[in-house]
């Protein structure tokens, strides 16, 4: 069997097993009375099979697509902004850092308008 087909089948099986666990947990915890509804209905087994199969298709497709998208290069991608995000993160960390005990941050005066005359709000 070709390696890519085996790759897809393995990840589809992983997705189906996750879906099986998901449906089992839905039944165990009786979410919205689902287990009660299926156990009292005469078509409950068919509903359980359909829920498992369609959840398996969904989870399997998601697992396969994630696995395919993760097949990229092994090297770390370069930052297209030239390290802008790293510099910004370092600046934010430095700004949030607690200053040493001997050094305090300087108080910066904030300009405030000193008018005593009342102004009308805009839009009137």
Q: Is 55 within 8 Å of 23 (Cβ atoms)?
A: yes
Residue 39 has pLDDT above 90, yes or no: yes
CA–CA separation, 85 vs 66, rounded Å?
Answer: 25
Listed by start position, the domains of the chain span 3-68
Nearest to 53 by CA among 14, 18, 29, 20: 20
For 42-83, what is each residue's pLDDT tens digit? Answer: 999 999 999 999 999 999 999 999 999 888 766 666 666 667
Helix residue spans in the chain (DSSP H)? 3-28, 34-40, 44-69, 84-96
The pTM of this model reads 0.57
- The predicted pLDDT at position 93 comes to 81
Spatial distance between the Cα atoms of 19 and 17, rounded to a whole number of angstroms: 5
């Amino acid at each position: 069997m070709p390696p890519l087909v085996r790759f897809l089948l393995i990840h589809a099986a992983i997705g189906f097993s996750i879906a099986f666990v998901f449906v089992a947990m839905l039944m165990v915890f009786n979410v919205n009375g689902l287990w009660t509804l299926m156990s009292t209905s005469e078509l409950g087994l068919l509903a359980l099979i359909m829920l498992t199969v369609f959840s398996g298709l969904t989870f399997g497709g998601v697992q396969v697509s994630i696995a395919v998208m993760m097949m990229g290069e092994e090297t770390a991608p370069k930052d297209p902004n030239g390290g802008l995000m790293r510099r910004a993160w370092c600046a934010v960390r430095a700004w949030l850092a607690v200053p040493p005990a001997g050094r305090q941050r300087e108080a910066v005066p904030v300009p405030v308008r000193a008018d005593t005359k009342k102004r009308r709000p805009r839009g009137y």
